[in-house]
Amino acid sequence: MVPVALGLLICLINFNGTAPMIAVQGLDDGAAPPSEDIVHHLIDAKKTLVDNIVHKFLPTPAAGFKVLAIGGDDGDVNIYSSAELYDSLTATWKATGSMSVPRTNFVAVKLLDGRVLVTGGVETSSTAAQPLATCEIYDPVTGVWNSTGSMAIPRFYHQLVVLPTGLVLVSGGYSIGSSGFFAASASELYNATTGTWTPTGSMKNGRGQFAMVSLPDGNALVAGGYNLRFELASTEVYTASTGQWSVVAPMSTMRVFLNLVALSDGKVLATGGQNATALLATSELYDPATSKWSATGSLPAALESSASALLGDGTVLLAGGATNDGIAATSEIYSEATGAWLPTGSLSTARFTVPAVALGASTVLVAGGGNATGLALASAELFNTATGAWSTTAAMSVPRIGFQLVAL
């Protein structure tokens, strides 16, 4: 055991930004070192305190949080090019620059430089819905959108992740060719510096309405989806260093409209969705160390198209969604430590296909989504992790479904 001199110290972070040193156990020079059990106990206590500070008690930045709501549709005939900003300090939305074209069922992601990339989606022509290959970038400093390089093929219901290099990986989605619509397997990489896309390895299985997350090693995992013939249980991993996809163990069941959340310990939680015959309540965990899935706790009820967010303490919030009994307002929290889902406060308005973003460690914002008739909602709500309760906040200027929320 390494001798300990002059005491064991824990560094706490004050809300005013200072970092005083607080002695946990003082030792005089020459005193006998504490037992190994005491050392381990103090180290564990330090880790617990620091985790609590980082995940629960850090104050909201003085500037608050800004969230960008982009595009989408009203669940009927109107598709939007408009965007608006939510300010957590004033609890208000205000208009910002509009995209060059209206689009819904697209995907957006925040780049490492703070700008927002929007890709693909669907717009409506005079005759039919048209998939898009075009992309645009939003600059939060100017509030202006600018066109950037287009993808090689049009895509909607695809997925994006930002790799550690700053490159953006786009994969899958539904596209259209000479023979009509198909589920794409092709992937591309976007370079924000040059504004261009280049091809990379293709997935083994074309899929849309699937889920994709980044892994701790800088790679990416895709799971589930639909290939326009049947739902998928298959999962694949993209290796950034080689630009290739590899098939890994499948989930225990086919899932489309699932939630996929990367947990703080590197594992990935897949939950809900539907297979070929029914909605699902089951959940399972993917372990990158073994490339395998294992069962974990089930939801209280089968659910799809819900909002999900990783909370500051490492638990997962699931809210709203579609159930066998209609559109849900219920919310649940998953703890990996117990492997169980527990009920928490309910939304004031039932909604599905709803995005969620975490505002720091203590608050989650949901907005829009669809109601029981399939029409879009404009209302927004905030979840307080300390109380487990939802509260209403200002509504967006228009009802939106098929849109994106991005924390700036």
What is the model's pLDDT at position 246?
98
Q: Looking at per-residue confidence, does 267 or 18 come out higher?
A: 267
Position 125 confidence tier, pLDDT thresholds 50, 70, 90: low
pLDDT in tens, 197-207: 999 999 999 99
Over residues 338-344, mean pLDDT: 97
In order of start, what are the domains of the chain with their CATH numbers? 8-57 (no CATH), 61-93+305-408 (2.120.10.80), 99-288 (2.120.10.80)
pLDDT in tens, 43-56: 343 333 334 333 33
What is the model's pLDDT at position 38?
37
What is the model's pLDDT at position 124?
79
In angstroms, rounded to a whole number, what is the distance separating the alpha carbons of residues 84 and 162?
23
In angstroms, rounded to a whole number, what is the distance separating the alpha carbons of residues 67 and 3?
50
Residue with tokens 């159930």: 323
Q: Looking at per-residue confidence, does 56 or 65 come out higher?
A: 65
What is the model's pLDDT at position 47?
37
pLDDT in tens, 190-242: 999 999 999 999 999 999 999 999 999 999 999 999 999 999 999 999 999 99
Over residues 265-280, mean pLDDT: 97
What is the model's pLDDT at position 61?
57
Position 349 confidence tier, pLDDT thresholds 50, 70, 90: very high
The rounded mean pLDDT for the chain is 87
Q: In what order do the strands lie in the sheet with 83-87?
A: 92-96, 83-87, 66-70, 404-407
CB contact burial 298-315 (16+ within 10 A = b; e otherwise): bbeebbbbbbbbbbbbeb
Over residues 88-100, mean pLDDT: 98
